[in-house]
Amino acid sequence: MDVAPVFQPSRSKYLVFTTDYILPVLIIIGVLTLLAVALYSPIFKITQINCRLDYQECSDPSVVAEFDKFKGKNIFTLRSDSVTSRLTSGDFTIREAHLKRELPGTLTLDLQSVYPSVALKVDTDPTWVVLDSKLRVIGTRSTDPNVPTVVVPGPITLTVGKPLADEVIINTLGLARRLADELFSVKTITLINEDTIELSLSGGRVAIFTPKKDELIQLHTLQVVLSDDTIMGGVSTIDVRFAQPVLR
């Protein structure tokens, strides 16, 4: 009895695409194409950098020059953590840095300065120079930084990132911080000269100190006078530079 042969299909000599293969291949090709465009297309090169420091436009030339180094780089390959770490570690005046990408080629950097400890103000200048706890210059502010402020006769030359060199101003700033801790009514301290310091108090009163005498003795005398309402009536100036306070 003859047995019918079993049909065994032979392998095709040609590559046959079916929908099971075409769709994944197209997806892979599309992903690779998009990746290549994102990484290598000139469209996504950084051409514009917006920088804000404490919500104001960055003006420090060294900071601007540092940001200009990012121009021409691919916006997707720029690592946010690397950029922010580089900024905060390379410049002590920057406390925080946040990076935002705006396609196709704009980079926005928001920077926050370190917290100011004291401030300097030249009597003829409407701006404040703020300093950190080590008396290094952070920058300038157009609004009151709400820290102990020393008003000095100008002009003075200061450099951002550098500590002060004038010993008289340094000592007066130190006094301003100590007085702010002990006497909350102090608004500003004005350095008249190396022998005289004026303290602007709440209520429009003025106290006069001298750096040539123990500040704790002068401070204690001032506190005693201020606490006695019977002798403060009509008094606008309290001079504690002498053995006995002079009231005017």
Give pLDDT tens digits for 64-117: 888 888 899 999 888 888 888 888 777 778 888 899 999 899 999 999 888 899
Right CATH for 42-113 from 3.10.20, 2.40.10, 3.30.1490, 1.20.120? 3.10.20
Contact, 76 vs 38, CB < 8 A?
Answer: yes
**Mean pLDDT, residues 18-41:** 77
**Mean pLDDT, residues 190-207:** 89
What's residue 28's pLDDT?
A: 84
What's residue 67's pLDDT?
A: 81
> 161 CB contacts (<8 Å, ≥6 apart)?
91, 92, 93, 136, 137
Residue 162 banded pLDDT, cuts 50, 70, 90? confident
What's residue 29's pLDDT?
A: 83
Selection from 31-35, 101-105, 201-205 with the highest mean pLDDT: 101-105
Give pLDDT tens digits for 107-151: 999 998 888 999 999 888 889 999 988 888 888 888 888 888 999
* Whole-number percent of the chain with pLDDT over 70: 91
What's residue 18's pLDDT?
A: 62
What's residue 3's pLDDT?
A: 54
**Residue ranges per structural domain of the chain:** 42-113, 118-247
What's residue 12's pLDDT?
A: 52
- Mean of per-residue pLDDT scores for the chain: 84
Give pLDDT tens digits for 4-22: 555 555 555 555 556 666 7
Integer angstrom CA distances of residue 239 from 33, 57, 107, 204, 246: 79, 44, 56, 15, 5
What's residue 63's pLDDT?
A: 78
Give the type of residue at 136.
Answer: R
Question: Residue 70 is encoded by which pair of tokens?
Answer: 């990012």
CA atoms of 25 and 43, how far apart (whole Å): 26
Give pLDDT tens digits for 175-186: 888 888 877 678
What is the value of pTM for the model shown?
A: 0.63
User: Edge-to-edge strand order for the sheet containing 186-193?
Assistant: 137-141, 128-131, 118-122, 149-152, 186-193, 196-201, 206-209, 237-239, 246-247
Protein fold of 118-247? Rossmann fold (3.40.50)
Residue 216 has a CB neighbour count (10 Å cut-off) of: 10
Give the type of residue at 45.
Answer: K
> 118 CB contacts (<8 Å, ≥6 apart)?
130, 131, 135, 147, 148, 149, 150, 173, 176, 177
